């Protein structure tokens, strides 16, 4: 199998007179977790659906899992698992009944053996007879992932997968996605949540249908090209106001009791931080620009 899962160029999509994706190109390595990050309505989900054959592009070319995205969409969809943002399983069926239903849809056999194995793999056996509609957010998420992977997909699509679940359930979820990635499953994640985006190997920033940045997550801040300082101490609110319009200060953001201040001119930024913090008796330090700082910028 090729080391490249997706390789497309020039994807474009309009709905009526509104162009929602504009000349989009991307190469996704097999087994990567690829995050599509951007505000609501930026074109993330539309792009992902075109990449995997769920939506036909108006223009463009390329392959997904070795199949042509324009001519072999049905072949691609057979190999895709899709977990929607909203829980979309049958609330009046039990966990076991939901898993059995989707296993039958995918033609998995022997049926009951497959169902038992899936329940065991996703630690759902103890709740197998509980109605899905009565589950908490974390358990619904686990069930949704179990059914989304019943067809043993080579490509997994996640649409804001951990919205509304507790931190432990979120961590357990990403542990499972990481294990699948190690086995060669490629994952595309659509999100505007930082705690989801930081789990990705690569980040693609999309805004208003245009790709702004496409880079490994570890090098994203370097791609954006901004420097950041963190300011802490009593009276940081006054410091926040004092920093406005100073040379080198292009962005200010509150992070709990601290302020992150960013800009492209490192020397001017450090001078502004030093001067303002000395005037107000608070401390500051230069830090690595984080994903959220870059996203806000």
Instruction: Answer whether 216's CB lies under 8 Å from 33's CB.
Output: no
pLDDT of residue 53: 85
Give backbone dihedrals phi and psi of 95, rounded to 5 degrees, phi first. -60, -45
pLDDT of residue 1: 55
In tens digits, the chain (297 residues) has pLDDT values of 579 999 999 999 999 999 999 999 999 999 999 999 888 888 988 998 898 888 999 999 999 999 999 999 999 999 999 998 778 899 999 999 999 999 999 999 999 999 999 999 999 999 999 999 999 888 999 999 999 999 999 999 998 887 777 888 888 889 999 999 999 999 999 987 777 888 899 999 898 899 998 989 878 878 888 999 999 998 888 999 999 999 999 999 998 889 999 999 999 999 999 999 999 999 999 999 988 888 888
Instruction: Answer whether 5's CB lies under 8 Å from 154's CB.
Output: yes
Which two tokens mark 165? Answer: 């679940």
Task: Please name which of 118, 86, 87 lies closest in space to residue 101, comparing C-alpha atoms.
Answer: 118
3-state secondary structure of 74: helix
Contacts of residue 242, Cβ cutoff 8 Å, sequence gap at least 6: 276, 279, 280
Query: ω into residue 110 within 30 of 0, thus cis?
Result: yes
- Please name the CATH architecture into which domain 4-221 falls: 3-Layer(aba) Sandwich (3.40)
Which two tokens mark 50? Answer: 């075109």
Domain boundaries along the sequence of the chain? 4-221, 226-296
pLDDT of residue 189: 93
CB half-sphere exposure, 69, CA atoms < 13 A: 28
Please state the pTM of the whole predicted model: 0.85
3-state secondary structure of 29: strand
Domain 226-296 sits in CATH at 3.30.70.250
């Amino acid at each position: 199998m090729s080391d490249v899962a997706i390789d497309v160029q020039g994807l474009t999509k309009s709905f009526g007179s509104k162009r929602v994706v504009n000349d989009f190109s991307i190469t996704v390595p097999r087994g990567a977790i690829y995050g599509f990050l951007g505000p609501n309505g930026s074109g993330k989900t539309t792009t992902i659906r075109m990449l995997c054959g769920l939506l036909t592009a108006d223009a463009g070319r390329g392959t997904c899992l070795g199949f042509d995205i324009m001519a072999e969409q049905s072949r691609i969809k057979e190999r895709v698992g899709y977990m929607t943002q909203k829980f979309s399983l049958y609330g009046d069926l039990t966990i076991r009944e939901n898993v059995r239903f989707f296993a039958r849809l995918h033609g998995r056999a022997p049926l009951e053996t497959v169902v038992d194995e899936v329940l065991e793999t996703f630690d759902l056996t103890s709740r197998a007879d509980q109605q899905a509609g009565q589950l908490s957010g974390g358990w619904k998420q686990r069930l949704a992932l179990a059914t989304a992977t019943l067809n043993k997909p080579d490509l997994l699509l996640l649409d804001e997968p951990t919205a509304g679940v507790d931190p432990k359930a979120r961590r357990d979820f990403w542990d499972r996605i990481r294990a699948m990635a190690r086995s060669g499953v490629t994952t595309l994640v659509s999100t505007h949540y930082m705690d989801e985006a930081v789990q990705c190997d690569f980040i693609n920033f999309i805004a208003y249908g245009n790709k702004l940045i496409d880079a490994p997550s570890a090098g994203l801040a370097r791609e954006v090209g901004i420097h950041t300082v963190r300011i802490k101490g009593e009276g940081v609110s006054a410091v926040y106001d004092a920093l406005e319009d100073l040379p080198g200060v292009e962005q200010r953001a509150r992070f709990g009791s601290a302020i992150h201040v960013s800009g492209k001119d490192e020397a001017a930024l450090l001078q502004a931080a030093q001067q303002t913090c000395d005037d107000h008796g608070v401390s500051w330090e230069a830090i690595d620009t984080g994903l959220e700082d870059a996203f806000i910028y």
